[in-house]
A and B are shown apart, each in its own frame.
Chain A
Amino acid sequence: MTFSPQLEQRFAKLLTRYPEGRTRSAVIPMLIYAQDEVGAVTRELIDEVAKRCKVTPVQVDEVVGYYSMLHRKPQGKFHVQVCTNISCLLVGGEELYEHAKKKLGVGHKETTADGQFSLEEVECMGACSWAPAVEINYDFHHHVTPEKLDQLIDGLRKAQ
C-alpha cells in the first residue's frame, strides 16, 4: 500500500518513538492517521499496518473493533459528531442531535447519499463547559444551537 509522503514521514517517525522491538505500539496511531487519508480502515490497510508494525492481522483486527473512532466503512467527507452526554444533554444536546438527523437526513453512523456528510451521536468529547458541542472531523464547535449547526453545515456544503 502506498501513502502520501507526509503520512509516510509520520509513520517513519512513529516507528522510532517506541523502545526497540516495540513496533506494535505504533498500531493505533498508524491506523487513525491512515484512516484520515484512506477514508476507512480497509482490509488492505489492516494487513499493511500489521506488516509495518510486525504483528499478525488479527492483532490489528482486535484493535480496529475496539476503538470507536476507527471505522471499517468510509464516512462522509465531513463527519459530524454530536455529543449528547450529560453536560450537553442538560443544555440541548439531544435536541441538537435530533436536529442534525433531520438536517442531514441520516441517522447514527449513516452517511448522506452524496458521501459529503456522516452523522454520529458521540460520547463526551471534553467540551462540557462549552456545551452543547459538535466536532466535525477534528474541529470542535462550542455552544452550538440548531441555527448555528445549520450555518456550519450549509457553509461546508457551499465550500464544495
Chain B
Amino acid sequence: MAKQLYNPPSPLETRVLSKRFGLEGSETLDVYLANDGFKAFLKAKEMTPEAIIEEVKTSALRGRGGAGFPTGLKWSFVPRTSPKPRVLVVNADESEPGCCKDRLLIEYDPHQLIEGILIASLAVDAHVGYVYVRGEYRYLVEKMDRAIEEAYARGYLGDNVAGTGWKFDLHTHSGAGAYECGEETALLDSLEGKRGVPRMKPPFPAVAGAWGMPTLLNNVETFSAIPPIIRDGGAAFAALGTPKNGGTRLMCLSGHVNKPGVYEIPLGFPMMKAINELGGGMRNGKKLKAVVPGGSSCPLLKADECDIPMDYDTLAKVGSMLGAGGMVVLDEDTDMVKFALRIMRFYQHESCGWCIPCREGTTWLRKILQRFSDGHGRREDISLIGELSKNMLGRTFCALGDAAAMPTISIVEKFTEDFEKYLVAKEAVAV
C-alpha cells in the first residue's frame, strides 16, 4: 500500500489536474491552498452563474465518465430557479475495467474535487452534494471524509464557504459493489437506498434526479477539471486539446506495456506515442495486437488502426470510443477468445437484470464463450456470437447491453482467426 500510485512526472505529460500529485501532503488543505487552491472558487463567486457555465462551455470539457457529453451544456440543463432544491452528485463509482484514475484524484487531491464541486454549486445554485464512492474504494471514502472534515473545520464547506457567505454541505456515500451504479440514473437509485437499476429518461437527472430534485451529476475527473478551467480560463484549457475536445485527461495505461500507469495527456495525444513513449513500448518486445482504447466497453482496435490521435471524435470515426480513459494494450500472444470471455463474464456478472436482452443476452453469450474457450466450440458459434451481440445492441434499457455487445462484436469480427484456431485444434483432436 505504501507505494505511491502516481508516476514521476514525464515531459510527455501535461499536468493540469494532476499537478499537485507528488507534493508532500497534497491531500491536505494547506498544500492545496499554497498551490492555487480556492483561487478559482473565489473568482467564480464574483461571476454570474451564466458566466461560469459559459466558461465551462468555452473549455470544451467533455464528461470524463465515459459518455463524453459536453459538460457546460449539461450544467445549463439544470433549472437553477426551480422551487425544488438542486443536488450535486459526484460519480466516484469508477468501475469500468481498465479505469483507475478517479482513485488518484481523490487520494492525492481531494480539495481540488471539493473546489470543483463548489464552483458547480455556484453555477446551478445547489447547497448540498454527495460523493458516491464505490464500495471497494473504502479507503477513499475515508480519505474523502477526512478532506471534507478538514474543509468544514477550516470554513471551506458549511455555512460560509471561504468567507463568502456561500452555503454548501458535502457528504460521502458508499456503494456496495455494483458496476451498474456507475450509470448515472442507477447511481441515483442506489443513492436513494435502492437496487442500482437505471431509470427511464426523460426525465433527465438535471430535471428530476436524486429524490426527484434537479441534480447535476458528473464524474470525479470532470469536477476536478473545473478549478483549473475557472482559474486559467476556459480558453486556456480548451487550447490544450483539440477543437471540441478541450483540455487534458487522465489516461490509465495498462496491459502489455513496459510502464503502465496513469498519465495526464492532452486530448488528441497520439495513441502510438502513448504506447511506445509514455508506456515505454511493448513488454518483452512483443508486437502490438490490439488496444482497448477507453475501457472494456469500447470496441477494440487492431494494431493497424491505432495510429490515431486520441480524442472523442477521432475514436468515434474509427468505430470506437474514448470512454473513461482506460487504455488496455494487448500483445500478439493474447488469446482473444479468452479476452472476449472475460469481458462477457464481467458484463454478465454486472448486468442488473432489469431488461431481457441484457440479462439473457449476456448470460447466453457468456455460456457460448465459456464453451468455446473450453474447446467445445462449433463453427456456427462464431456467427452466433456476433448475431446475439447485435440482438442486444441498441435494444437494452441502458448502455450496459451495448457495453457488452460492442467489444464482443469487434473481437469476433476483427479477430475471427483466434476463434478459428480453437476449431482447428478441436478438429485435430477429432481426427
Contacts and interface: CB of A to CB of B under 8 A. Distances in A.
Interface residues of B, number: 60
Given A32-B135, A63-B194, A126 B339 contact: no
B5 A27 contact: no
A131 to B, nearest CB: 6
A84 B345 CA distance: 10
A67 B261 contact: no
Interface stretch (B71-79, B170-178, B308-316): B170-178
Contacts of A128: 97-100, 252, 254, 260, 326, 328
B262 interface: yes
Interface stretch (A1-9, A17-25, A99-107, A110-118): A17-25
B3 A142 contact: yes
Given A67-B177, A69-B177, A70-B176, A87 B350 contact: no
Nearest to A41: B176
Contacts, number: 157
A126 B137 CA distance: 8
Given A85-B342, A90-B328, A139-B139, A32 B178 contact: no
Given A86-B97, A130-B5, A138-B138, A32 B176 contact: yes
B103 interface: yes
Contacts of A123: 95, 97, 179, 346, 349-350
Given A66-B196, A85-B342, A87-B328, A124 B178 contact: no
Interface string B270-305: 000000000000000000000010001000000000
Contacts of B179: 123-124
B171 to A, nearest CB: 4
B193 A67 contact: no
A130 to B, nearest CB: 6
B337 interface: no
Given A124-B346, A130-B5, A69 B135 contact: yes
Interface of B: 1, 3, 5, 85, 94-100, 102-103, 128, 130, 134-139, 171, 173-179, 190-196, 211, 213, 252-256, 260-262, 292, 296, 326, 328, 330, 334, 338-339, 342-343, 346, 349-350, 352
14 contacts: A25-B191, A25-B192, A28-B175, A63-B194, A67-B175, A85-B296, A86-B328, A90-B256, A90-B328, A124-B296, A128-B98, A128-B328, A129-B252, A129-B261
